[in-house]
Structure 1
Amino acid sequence: MKRNLLLILLLAITTSAFSQRKSELFAEIDTLKSRISEVEQELAIAQREISSANAEAETLKSENATLRDANATLLGNMSNFSKLSKQNSDNVDRAMEALARKEKQLSGINDMISSNDSTAIVSLTNIKKTMGENAKVGVEQGIVIISNSLSSLFGSDTDAALTEEGKTWLAGVANVIKANPNFKTVVEGLNITGEFGPTYNQVATVASELVTVLEVPAESISVTAKDGNFKEGINIKLQPDYKGFYAKAKESAKGAQ
């Protein structure tokens, strides 16, 4: 009997201990379930944050690629602009150099023109000193013109033989021509009748007197006859050596290049 009671007591103790242990296990399970739930919530939050971070990373990556492309385009444009700017600068420099050359050319030509004009004015003064204040002398476009009438030179409109007065006048003209070797001389006859034969005879007589008698170099004299437009007479034109002038202008232009 005592043995049975002892067994029952042991069984009761064992059962009580097992029940207590079971309750503790259930409590631990509940705690674990609660912890698992918290972990799952934290995991879900972490996954959402990771997803958001990934989305932001993709956006930043796309924006970065766009910025790189824009930067590359900007650098390319800046490079092109720099090349264009340098090219424009070079063009401006070349244009300024060309302009400077042209100005130098024009300056040289203007100096020569001014020199010719000044020479013509000085010659005009000297001619009046040589031939007298009553001499018919003028300057037109840099050309000195010494004039005389047909009656004074030949005694009439049609004669071709020089009068003594005409010879004296031509002697003064010869002195003027010799004193201005840089000028070309043109003996010009003016006619109002339209018959140029007598006019050519007259200018030929004047040229012959200047060359053969008064020893003016033949290469510096030429003759011409034209309609005088209601004027007749003989003009002795002293004009710049245009051939030499243009030769100098050409050399000046070459020197400025």
Structure 2
Amino acid sequence: MRVIVSLIALVTILSSCVSKKKLAEAENKYRETKAMLDNATMKLNICQDEKKALTQSYEQQLKTLQQTNEALINTQGDLTTLTQKGAENLEMTLESMKEKDLQIKTMRDAINRKDSVTLALVTSLKGAVGNMDDEDIQINVEKGVVFVSISDKLLFGSGQYQLTDRAKEVLGKVAKVIKAKPDFEFMVEGHTDNVPISKQCFEDNWDLSTKRATSVVRVLQNEYNVDPSRMVAAGRGQYVPLESNDDKLGRARNRRTKIIVLPKLDQFYNMIEQGMKKL
């Protein structure tokens, strides 16, 4: 019996380590995604500022050229030479403006493409789950990332990690959308309130949240054939609450499972990388 108990403890520790490692990898990927998007936005703003400066320079040069031409007519100077020089400067300014316009368009196309794909994913998810109470399931976008948050009363019984039949029905609809979007990966996060778990089969709330996330991933893989290489199961325990745990309503909102949908960087940010190389 002591040997069995020791083996169970060892498996639990190893599972926790693997889960934490996958969680860290997923969080690093999310930070890389956000940093790249922020950098692209910053570059876009710089291009727009440079275009504005070039436009002002163009207008000033045009005004100067007109004044020069008037002066040359009045003084009968070397009109041909000076006008040719002004025209060359103007042509160079216009060419520079065209280059900046092309760079700005490239950046906008990349960002618009990402936003369009994200919007299409949200629309598909909302259409798949149908009319459900906002308290049970919420689908939204935060900082360019799609989140599906499902309350624990829909997924699990109190203090349990086995999924209900209703939960499997909802996950089946989500799986249908996810399978049709192979360019996305996603992470399943379990969250709890701060009330200590009293059942002996769980070490703590962190253990409970991890087992719940793993249950969701297993159902998506085993019953709905979602590619396991696209999924990460993670437990966050009570450490990322939505609201205060001081009252019953706040604790209920904090008990949830979140599916975080992430685009694959090498596919969705190729256009942004190419645009940035031209800057």
Following the alignment from structure 2 to structure 1, what is the Cα–Cα distance between the partners of residues 84 and 193? 71
Q: For 1:166-205, what aligned pairs fall within 5 Å after superposition?
A: 166-193=167-194, 195-205=205-215
Distance 1:247 1:222, change over 3 A: farther
1:196 positional shift: 1.9
| Structure 2 partner of 1:33 | none
- Residue 245 of structure 1, aligned match among 268, 272, 276: 268
1:116 maps onto 2:112 in alignment: no
Deviations 1:201-230 (A, max 9, x none): 211121122112321011222233332243
1:127 positional shift: 2.0
Q: Which has the larger radius of gyration?
A: 1
Following the alignment from structure 1 to structure 2, what is the Cα–Cα distance between the partners of residues 86 and 108? 33
Unaligned runs of 5+ in 2: 1-76, 195-203, 244-253
Deviations 1:34-82 (A, max 9, x none): xxxxxxxxxxxxxxxxxxxxxxxxxxxxxxxxxxxxxxxx99xx98x78
Contact conserved, 1:185 with 1:237, CA < 8 A, in 2? yes
Following the alignment from structure 2 to structure 1, what is the Cα–Cα distance between the partners of residues 124 and 169? 20
| Structure 1 partner of 2:231 | 221
Following the alignment from structure 1 to structure 2, what is the Cα–Cα distance between the partners of residues 99 and 195? 54
Higher helix share: 1
Following the alignment from structure 1 to structure 2, what is the Cα–Cα distance between the partners of residues 110 and 168? 34
| Structure 2 partner of 1:233 | 256
1:99 positional shift: 0.9
| Structure 2 partner of 1:46 | none
3-state DSSP of counterpart to 1:225:
strand
Contact conserved, 1:184 with 1:238, CA < 8 A, in 2? yes
Q: Looking at both structures, which has the greater relative contact order when contacts are Cα pairs under 8 Å and sequence separation is at least 6?
A: 2
Distance 1:187 1:253, change over 3 A: same
1:252 positional shift: 5.3
| Structure 2 partner of 1:211 | 221
3-state DSSP of counterpart to 2:182:
coil
Contact conserved, 1:155 with 1:163, CA < 8 A, in 2? yes
Distance 1:121 1:211, change over 3 A: closer
Contact conserved, 1:185 with 1:222, CA < 8 A, in 2? yes
The residue identity in structure 2 corresponding to 1:96 is M
3-state DSSP of counterpart to 2:269:
helix
| Structure 2 partner of 1:61 | none
| Structure 1 partner of 2:61 | none
Q: For 1:87-106, what aligned pairs fall within 5 Å after superposition?
A: 88-89=89-90, 91-106=92-107
3-state DSSP of counterpart to 1:181:
coil
Distance 1:85 1:111, change over 3 A: same
Following the alignment from structure 1 to structure 2, what is the Cα–Cα distance between the partners of residues 117 and 107? 15
3-state DSSP of counterpart to 1:250:
helix
3-state DSSP of counterpart to 1:95:
helix
Following the alignment from structure 1 to structure 2, what is the Cα–Cα distance between the partners of residues 206 and 215? 13
Contact conserved, 1:120 with 1:139, CA < 8 A, in 2? no
The residue identity in structure 2 corresponding to 1:95 is S
Q: For 1:26-175, what aligned pairs fall within 5 Å after superposition?
A: 85=86, 88-89=89-90, 91-129=92-130, 132-134=131-133, 136-141=137-142, 142-157=144-159, 159-175=160-176
Deviations 1:2-45 (A, max 9, x none): xxxxxxxxxxxxxxxxxxxxxxxxxxxxxxxxxxxxxxxxxxxx
CA-atom RMSD in angstroms = 3.4
TM-score by length of 2: 0.51
User: How many pairs does the alignment contain?
Assistant: 178
Contact conserved, 2:122 with 2:139, CA < 8 A, in 1? no
The runs of 4+ residues in structure 1 deviating greater than 6 Å are 81-84
Question: Identity over the aligned pairs, expressed in percent?
Answer: 21
1:119 positional shift: 0.9
